Structure 1
Amino acid sequence: MSLNYAFSFSVFLLALVILNIYFFYTLNTIDRKSPKFNVPNLRFDLTSSVFKDIYEYLNYLPSQYKNKNSKFIKIQKSLVSSFNSSKNDNPASVWDETDKWISNQSLFPHENGVGGKILHALQSSQIALVDNALKGTQLKLLLLIEGKQKVYFKPKRYNLDHVIKGNIYAGFDRHNSEVFAYYLAMVLNFKWIAPSVIRYIHLDKDIVPVATSGLRRTMVKNDNGALCIYGKCFYCKVNETVCPDSKGQVEGAAILFLDKTFKVYKSPWRRSYSSKKMEWETDNDFCTKVRGTLSTKRLLNLIDVAIFDFLIQNGDRHRYEVYKEQIILLDNGKGLGNPLVDELDILAPLYQCCIMASSTWQHLEIISGGSLTETVKILSSFQGHKLATEEHFRAVERRLLKIYATVQYCIGRYGSSKVFKSGF
């Protein structure tokens, strides 16, 4: 009896020690004032358990991920300095600077105020020629502006507060998502993206006089007698036109045309665009197969892109373009659809592979506590346009917390030394 008693007492002491360790860990890691995140209704498939684990980590995130980090102040000041210098007496002269730009860190120069000058030139340069941009699934125009620079123009289809319901890739492209994505990429330090800005174009004054015959053939008058454009593209229809507002203007995103040769690849995590499930949606060991076909550098790049897409909820990146061995963030118009929905499977490359570039993680850690969207607002204010509703800004911050939780999930499974990769 004494032996059994001693054994039972030892087990009791061990349990008591474990409970105390857990208690003190909880006190030091949980922000007790923060609300609980409820796990959404999930399908009972292989992914469900992963999502539940990530939401569990979300509820126990250390407070440092919910507060501002003073290390970001210097970076924010640098970004503000670069984009708060849009005044330029000769907008076309900025293209001389970009033509000479050679770098393995970014597509275009951003330092010394060049970033703001590029956006000012996109927004204000005189238009010399307008044509249909034939490539793509949706209406966009190709502009030739002074300085012989080409620009894509994606017209406005929805008001900012319009909510896109349905599939993650539903609806027309959102012009504001293209511009929001550009500023977001700057804050995230993802410099492989084409500059983009909101621009207003007067249809009768700016487009009609310099329109090609091909563009003119895709113009029709609406019931009010206003000239509208339906364009020429894969999904363009004569009954889905873009018409000017009461001032005769069309609002849209002016996106710098990248006159470069890209290598195009299918994304391993592409969607089927039907009820059919892709392999990555049913196999949580899918990354093991991907590792056998892609370099670690490319895989880390895809994970960066997944993080970027998750923040704006762009679930339409079925392929990706590569320049100088870097993925270019093109076609970001499917973001900002529904601020109430967070499709966590956009992060599949992260939670299935559970690796991340150390430099990416270090930067993500310092844009916490609202600094990310605060900086997007500041930078976009220099061009004088609101890019999203407050609901969308709050949604981006909410999704950033979920990215932190996903990384914590990976650390919990494999340890920091296996998750973070240096030298890439």
Structure 2
Amino acid sequence: MKLKQRVIMMSSLFLTMATLFLIGIQLTWTLTDPQSQHPNQEKSNESIEKKLSPAVPSSNQPPSDAINRFRERFNNHKRPPPPLPVPRDELMKDILQKRFGKFPHIGKPPSLDLTTVPFVKINPWSVWERWVTQDHFYPEGAFYSSEMNQILETLATSQVTELGLGYKGTQLKATMMLGGQKTVFKPKRYSRDEVIEGNPYAGFDRHNGEIAGFHLDGILGFRLAPPVVGRKINLTALGPIITEKLKATFLKRGNNICFYGKCYYCKPAEAACADGEVMEGSVTLWLPSWYKLKTRRHPYQRTYRAETSARWEKDSSYCKTTVLDQSSEFYSGVLEYTDTAVYDFLMGNADRHHYEVYSLAKPHGKLIHIDNGKTFGNPHHDEVSILAPLTQCCRFRSSTWDKLQSIESSPDKLSEILDKSLQRDPLYPILSQDHLAAIDRRLEIIMTAIRHCIDTEGRKDTIVDSWG
């Protein structure tokens, strides 16, 4: 009898402990769920975000809804919730009202319906957090979506809560906080029509090149450039939230407020200046905190010395003997180099000496398209050396080839497609007509180079689905 009582007592104790354990797990998930931490965000918006931007798996087979829900719970448990958007900036609100006639209205360019997704108010930072994977920064089809347009609008109009020194590098930039969301601000240096003479990497970074680079990346289907938008900031109004380190680099030239920041080439003589107190620039959305970058040396890096040429510039067999060698550190990245060569050649970017990939990606990872400031400098010169990875290696991703053929046969030129997409930006026009014409001319050069590879190497060896 005593033994039976003990068994009953132990069974009851076990059930009680199991119940408490399950309640503890549920409570932990509830406390770490972004919806519970942000009560002002509507529940309906969260459900819409989940449907329109689900977790994208890395495997070929899509997981079940149950697995997706588990992954979302698990990711929310591990990562801090994305910040909520902050109030609108009055300067940019006025600019958008003048540009589009009403506010908000980045949703559609004039006379061009680019999205079939109905407008639904969302938390753009939450959508961005869920979109990013190690292979792409947003889902296929999202480039023209209502969600993307709201991300761009929020980048353009959210109040700046801090302006500080930019991260290390060779060019001037500032770190801009929009509430809890980090972004990068690059100031305007040149007018839209100015031609940058000299070597193909001459001059300062072009803020409009950053904007156009994002749109071109999306049109080509790479989805490897984070969202970028143009905006203006009032440096006088932002005075209280500018960090002391950045303020220490401020100066005045006539009636214009300027700053030179901190970077490898930053100095007072080459400060960027506002038009009075209002400065134009580009704003790039920062990647989620979990997306750690690894920097690699590009196999087609330049020497940046006029008297010295890199090996690839002197040896036409460089790719076949070095890059395509299976023991080479560059072998697994061949398709990334040729994809990016096409992207950079269209923009005239000869400055990709290093590049970034997701740090945990194996064996190589996607070459992400950031730091596109040295683009659209001279529309009258086509720097064909940028295409060396393509012309020497003659290996090209089939999906990119299909996209280029589709654009080539389209009734709209690539320049027209790009210009229509750029109409979404509040500072449109972004590119001069000369730069737009250069893009069409360069596309013809690219298609000729790929077809030459097909003729000499054979289609089977040239156009491939995967590599490494």
The answer on 1:219 being equivalent to 2:250 is yes
| Shift in Å, 1:105 | 4.5
**Would you say the 8 A contact 1:83–1:115 is kept in 2?**
no
For 2:239, the aligned partner's letter is V
**Would you say the 8 A contact 1:142–1:153 is kept in 2?**
yes
Change (3 A) 1:423 1:281: closer
The answer on 1:393 being equivalent to 2:436 is yes
After superposition, the C-alpha distances for 1:130-184 in whole angstroms (9 at most, x for unaligned) are: 10104111111101102x1001000000001000011011000000000000000
| Shift in Å, 1:394 | 0.5
The answer on 1:303 being equivalent to 2:334 is no
2:388 aligns with: 348
2:54 aligns with: none
After superposition, the C-alpha distances for 1:12-54 in whole angstroms (9 at most, x for unaligned) are: xxxxxxxxxxxxxxxxxxxxxxxxxxxxxxxxxxxxxxxxxxx
After superposition, the C-alpha distances for 1:243-269 in whole angstroms (9 at most, x for unaligned) are: 2214x3100010112243111110010
Give the 5 Å matches for 1:9-158.
80-81=114-115, 93-103=123-133, 105-109=135-139, 111=142, 112-146=145-179, 148-158=180-190
Name the SS of the counterpart of 1:221 in structure 2.
Answer: strand
Name the SS of the counterpart of 1:190 in structure 2.
Answer: coil
1:242 aligns with: 272
2:239 aligns with: 208
Candidates 204, 220, 227, aligned match of 1:172: 204
Give the 5 Å matches for 1:256-335.
256-258=285-287, 259=289, 260-274=291-305, 275-288=307-320, 289-292=322-325, 293-294=328-329, 297-323=332-358, 324=361, 325-335=365-375
Candidates 422, 436, 442, aligned match of 1:380: 422
After superposition, the C-alpha distances for 1:35-81 in whole angstroms (9 at most, x for unaligned) are: xxxxxxxxxxxxxxxxxxxxxxxxxxxxxxxxxxxxxxxxxx99921
**Would you say the 8 A contact 2:172–2:266 is kept in 1?**
yes
1:21 aligns with: none
| Shift in Å, 1:118 | 1.1
**Would you say the 8 A contact 1:183–1:379 is kept in 2?**
yes
| Shift in Å, 1:280 | 0.3
Candidates 251, 260, 281, aligned match of 2:280: 251
CA distance in 1, matches of 2:425, 2:450: 35
2:80 aligns with: none
Change (3 A) 1:120 1:82: farther
Change (3 A) 1:223 1:344: same
The answer on 1:421 being equivalent to 2:433 is no
For 2:370, the aligned partner's letter is L
Change (3 A) 1:295 1:245: closer
1:197 aligns with: 229
The answer on 1:184 being equivalent to 2:216 is yes
After superposition, the C-alpha distances for 1:391-414 in whole angstroms (9 at most, x for unaligned) are: 100100000000000011111211
Name the SS of the counterpart of 1:352 in structure 2.
Answer: helix
Q: Which moved more, 1:130-139 or 1:104-113?
A: 104-113
CA distance in 1, matches of 2:261, 2:390: 38
Change (3 A) 1:234 1:301: same
**Would you say the 8 A contact 2:135–2:366 is kept in 1?**
no
CA distance in 2, matches of 1:189, 1:240: 36
| Shift in Å, 1:223 | 2.9
Unaligned runs of 5+ in 1: 1-76
1:22 aligns with: none
1:48 aligns with: none
CA distance in 2, matches of 1:193, 1:95: 16
Q: Which moved more, 1:300-309 or 1:230-239?
A: 230-239
| Shift in Å, 1:421 | 0.5
CA distance in 1, matches of 2:126, 2:432: 36
Give the count of matched residue pairs: 340
CA distance in 1, matches of 2:239, 2:116: 35
Change (3 A) 1:119 1:250: same
| Shift in Å, 1:227 | 2.8
For 1:139, the aligned partner's letter is L
For 1:169, the aligned partner's letter is Y
For 2:456, the aligned partner's letter is R
CA distance in 1, matches of 2:446, 2:113: 23
| Shift in Å, 1:108 | 3.1
CA distance in 1, matches of 2:456, 2:249: 56
Change (3 A) 1:291 1:131: same
Change (3 A) 1:328 1:127: same
| Shift in Å, 1:297 | 4.8
**Would you say the 8 A contact 1:174–1:334 is kept in 2?**
yes
TM-score if structure 2 supplies the norm length? Answer: 0.69
| Shift in Å, 1:376 | 1.4
CA distance in 2, matches of 1:282, 1:416: 27
Q: Which moved more, 1:226-235 or 1:122-131?
A: 226-235
| Shift in Å, 1:295 | 6.4
For 1:399, the aligned partner's letter is R
CA distance in 1, matches of 2:228, 2:296: 24
Name the SS of the counterpart of 2:131 in structure 1.
Answer: coil
For 1:383, the aligned partner's letter is D
Candidates 450, 455, 458, aligned match of 1:407: 450
2:402 aligns with: 362
Cα RMSD over matched residues? 2.2
CA distance in 2, matches of 1:365, 1:78: 23
CA distance in 1, matches of 2:444, 2:356: 28
Unaligned runs of 5+ in 2: 1-110
Change (3 A) 1:405 1:300: same
**Would you say the 8 A contact 1:83–1:379 is kept in 2?**
no
| Shift in Å, 1:312 | 0.3
